[in-house]
Amino acid sequence: MFGHRPTSVSAAEGARAAAEGQVVIYWRKGCPFTKRLRLVLGKRGAAAVWVDIWADADAAAYVRSVNDGNETVPTVVIDGEPHTNPAPRLVVAALSRQA
């Protein structure tokens, strides 16, 4: 009903994935913007690497470092560059290139 149910990895795994050019989505439970992104991505969301900032303090610290101290999610890393709450079409396009 809500698209792909993310399986989270650690911040270290997320950083490695981003360095390898994968799309990395930093998220947290209960975030309506993350839910919207998941809905739009649907099954395509399985191709992204998901990092739960509430499950990993290093992930939360990373998100704060790129969002002026705020834990704003989703923060999506595409081609090594963080995007705060990007338009879902941007993430869809990045995942399409990644495939």
What is the per-residue pLDDT across 74-87, written as a single tens digit (0 to 9) for each? 999 999 999 999 99
In the predicted model, what is the mean pLDDT of the chain?
93
In this structure, is residue 3 part of a structural domain?
A: no
CATH code at 51?
Answer: 3.40.30.10
Q: Does the pLDDT at position 1 exceed 50?
A: no
In this structure, is residue 5 part of a structural domain?
A: no
80 and 38 Cβ atoms separated by less than 8 Å: no
Strand (E) or helix (H) holding 64: helix 57-66
Q: What is the pTM of this model?
A: 0.93
Q: Domain residues for 56?
A: 11-98
In this structure, is residue 1 part of a structural domain?
A: no
10 and 51 Cβ atoms separated by less than 8 Å: yes
In this structure, is residue 18 part of a structural domain?
A: yes
Q: Does the pLDDT at position 29 exceed 60?
A: yes
9 and 48 Cβ atoms separated by less than 8 Å: no
How many whole angstroms separate alpha carbon 33 and alpha carbon 38? 9
In this structure, is residue 6 part of a structural domain?
A: no
83 and 23 Cβ atoms separated by less than 8 Å: no
Q: What's the domain count of the chain?
A: 1
In this structure, is residue 36 part of a structural domain?
A: yes
